[in-house]
Amino acid sequence: MSDLDLVVEEVDLLVAEAAWLNARGPHFVILHLWQEPGSSGCFAGEEVAQVRFVDRAREFPLKLGLGPLIEFDYLARHRWLPRNASQLAAEMNADSFCSLHAANAPKSQKQRRQFTHASVKVFAQRIRDAMQLAFRHAGVNMDPYLVLISEPGYRLKASVEWIHLIDERLIRRRTA
């Protein structure tokens, strides 16, 4: 193979990879702490500790505060149905995972947030800003507005995997 053939093959691979990424969206890993022993899945009392963008086996943490972390997790768990900001606020305030956030943590008060129409919009922008930084750091040219879509309602276009920990030990991975 000539050098030109290798370059063409590499370009073809990059184009195919970009098309695949745009079609399915990026991949994120959400880290939950304090899962109850013997349980599987995501339950009230766990803590959303971190969200990471994954690209080519490298992980890039999204720098988010508690409110945006909880909102990202909620959007990931319910990403098939778009919702407007008022619907999201009402649903997150009624959701036991959100209302009992981190209640399983030892010597910790549950980390509750009250969500409003306005806070959902602010947190969505903070999530997009954090995505933009992670994408830039990874060298990925992706628009966060095409990942966290807001029309006709907020929806996360991505694949997501959850990692559950008890006392910082890996318990299980769950992909949805």
pLDDT of amino acid 6 = 66
Residue 10 pLDDT > 90: no
Q: Where are the domains of the chain?
A: 26-175
How far CA 32 is from CA of 8, 61, 88, 104, 127, in Å, comes to 42, 14, 21, 11, 18
pLDDT tens figures, 119-158: 999 999 999 999 999 999 999 999 999 999 998 899 999 9
pLDDT at 18: 53
- pLDDT of 48-95, one tens digit each? 889 999 998 899 999 999 999 999 999 999 988 899 999 999 999 999
* Domain covering 26-175, topology: Arc Repressor Mutant, subunit A (1.10.10)
